[in-house]
Structure 1
Amino acid sequence: MRRKEKINAPTTRYQGSKRRILPWLETIFSTLEFNTALDGFGGSGSVGYLLKSMGKEVTFNDLLKSNYQTGVALIENNNITLNESDINHIFNEQSSHNSNNTIATIYEDVYYLDKENRLLDNLIYNIETLSDMYSGAELKYKKALAYHILFQACLAKRPFNLFHRKNLNLRTKTVKRSFGNKKTWDKSFQEHFRNFNTEYAKFIKSNDKKNKAINQDIFSVTGKFDLVYLDPPYSRKHHNSPQNYAEMYHFLEGIMNYNNWEKNIDLTRVHKPFKCTKSNWNSDLTKNFDALFKKFSNSIIVVSYGNKGKPSIDTIVKLLKKYKKNVTTISHPYSYKLNRNNGIGYREVIIIGR
């Protein structure tokens, strides 16, 4: 974008989010005729939220349970927010004697300070006990929003906003820093939570459509959609497998599987990742793309991809042409916030099949 364009979508710490190029994507979507849309790899929810704001009936899908909560909170939810009473309940320290100590026990000196680990155990217990105050759809959306906000707070307090390695020392050691934001890392969970809650409350609104979030492998999704948007993990040069988001955000998946967390941890690795549900989106990406294009051949297909990804743009275009008569590509300069050097020469490419 040559000029600063307003991005009317919630902020996110999620790697790979398309939030910064939403104005460009909106321009592209505006040229297509559709009423219903599937965001097949929903992730941060940024594109799903854009489609919702454009008045489309949106189905948000993601295999990760943590991302599913984001879809429920921001896409499916039309009017439920967290009030002061809810936040006071979530941060009620009096309930700490009732909560488990899974995080405090397993993740000592891995991701957060000891007192923060104990707090997280308590916050999860308190979010679950929102059921003492609410029921039905209201409870569903209150909990989803609380978890989504908690996830953003967890990411904000992590170096690189990830859980890919044991590196709490980057935050705690006293050295001159060339990266990161120690002030943000050291801000309390409650302050982060309240700030994110204030922000997200402004974005929760209805578009008068029946939007929904689902938690499935992309190959299991059923239904008819005018448009299918696909932003899948892909391999980069020198790598044979697609980027593993479950590996980067396994801690958030652990939170969503709290009662079974301890039984599903890989203790052979120092950062103790949670063993997430395996995706069928595997190393044979050419075969995967072909299968997806065939599956959604009756829909307008919009693929978001990187010009340095594997398989190549040319390969994807060739595959899409098997099912679509009209295939076009549009590109845009793009670099990741945390690693701008890695983004030299990188372009986001939109491939449209009609």
Structure 2
Amino acid sequence: MRAYPRIRFMGSKYRLAPRLAEVFASLPPGPAIDAFSGSGVVAYTLKASGREVLANDMLVFTSTLAEALVANADEQLTDADVARICSPSRDGRDFIASTFDGLYFPPSDHAFLDSAWSHIDELEGAKRALALSALCLAAAQKQPRGVFTVTTPRYDDGRRQLRMSLQELFVEAVGRCNAAVIPGRARARCGDVFDVNEPAAVAYLDPPYAPPRDDTCYVKRYHFLEGLATYWRGQEIMWETRTRKLAKRHTPFASKRTAPDALDRLFDHFRAADALVVSYGSNAAISGDELEALIGRHRRSVERIELEHRYAFGTHATAQRRAATEYVFVGR
């Protein structure tokens, strides 16, 4: 689990993965589903424990991470692959350089992303997913706080990655991705959670947490990575926005008005699983008691585990205010 590449991702369970591994070990053996796989670290944890895993997420870039690092059992990028991706452009494309000129990264970094994509377009399968994952990891590392809601350097915290080129960060990221590849049976898919219909001993559910204020729109925060994973093909760019955002995608889990019904439907959808493991935060609009009651509608027994957690990087005052209790409910 320590080998899994870390990415600054809203709601990531990287720090909680060891504790979740203990929970999974207490449950019936058999295949598992990570229905909202996000950064992929929990699906990877399930795979590392010996379970067959299905990782699902609605975002392309997170599903690509799962394809490269969870579903992939033995493929790696070679030095020759990396040299080719880092070589001059195959076709002179400049979509990223022209679309994001003056935003996020220097012109040389944008040119590298265009050039890298010209070679990645010739890759297939796990190698393609690995290369795109490394590109996304590099871009997330160089963007302060890892989100693409701002275009200025005001959050520059002095990390060395902010001084490195994206090509240098890409090469480092390839090494981390290659090192994380482990044998085992796993699959990755990109789609709506209610289209997942697989038998499972364990269904792990980590839906977006409906906040009291603001929102949990992952597309708003990670639109550049979502576009980068697809070269913006099939994506709707909001050209009128300064940040070149992608159109928002509705999810009923993100609103305190629609979340209770959506969660009730979710727990019913996975009623055939031997056990449900549900993650949720105490700083959400839905209380732990409400969530426990919803799970209890579909399970004979519900155990609540409370873990102290902080959904932020850093030690600044805002980060400290984001300290919360992570609820882990186990429904049998």
If the length of structure 2 is used for normalisation, what is the TM-score? 0.92
Contact 2:211 2:254 (C-alpha < 8 Å) held by counterparts: no
The SS at the match of 2:127 is helix
Q: Which residue of 1 aligns with 2:308?
A: 333
Contact 2:224 2:245 (C-alpha < 8 Å) held by counterparts: yes
Q: Deviations over 1:55-88 (max 9, x none)?
A: 0010000110111111110111000001110000
Within 5 Å, give how 1:1-354 maps onto structure 2: 7-95=2-90, 98-130=91-123, 139-167=124-152, 169-170=153-154, 180-207=157-184, 209=185, 211-239=186-214, 241=215, 243-258=216-231, 260=233, 264-275=236-247, 277-283=249-255, 284-299=258-273, 300-335=275-310, 336-338=312-314, 340-344=319-323, 346-354=324-332
Contact 2:210 2:253 (C-alpha < 8 Å) held by counterparts: no
Question: In 2, Cα distance between the equivalents of 1:238 and 1:188?
Answer: 36
Contact 2:210 2:254 (C-alpha < 8 Å) held by counterparts: no
What code does the residue aligned with 1:342 have?
Answer: R
What code does the residue aligned with 2:154 have?
Answer: L
Question: In 1, Cα distance between the equivalents of 2:21 and 2:7?
Answer: 18
Contact 1:253 1:276 (C-alpha < 8 Å) held by counterparts: no
The SS at the match of 1:260 is coil
What code does the residue aligned with 2:134 have?
Answer: I
Q: Which residue of 2 aligns with 1:135?
A: none
Q: CA separation of 1:100/1:275 partners in 2, compared to 1, >3 Å: closer, same or farther?
A: farther
Moved more, 72-81 or 196-205: 196-205
What code does the residue aligned with 1:233 have?
Answer: P
Question: In 2, Cα distance between the equivalents of 1:151 and 1:256?
Answer: 7
Q: Deviations over 1:307-344 (max 9, x none)?
A: 12121111111111111010011011111224532323
Contact 2:138 2:170 (C-alpha < 8 Å) held by counterparts: yes
Q: Which residue of 2 aligns with 1:136?
A: none
Question: In 2, Cα distance between the equivalents of 1:100 and 1:247?
Answer: 26
Question: In 1, Cα distance between the equivalents of 2:46 and 2:64?
Answer: 18
Question: In 1, Cα distance between the equivalents of 2:262 and 2:232?
Answer: 33
What code does the residue aligned with 1:224 have?
Answer: P
Q: CA separation of 1:258/1:280 partners in 2, compared to 1, >3 Å: closer, same or farther?
A: farther
The SS at the match of 1:20 is coil
1:290 CA displacement:
0.2
1:282 CA displacement:
4.5
Question: In 2, Cα distance between the equivalents of 1:144 and 1:8?
Answer: 18
Give structure 1 regions of 4+ aligned residues with deviation exceeding 4 angstroms. Answer: none
Question: In 2, Cα distance between the equivalents of 1:259 and 1:218?
Answer: 23
Q: Percent identity?
A: 27
**RMSD of aligned C-alpha atoms?**
1.8
Contact 2:7 2:141 (C-alpha < 8 Å) held by counterparts: no
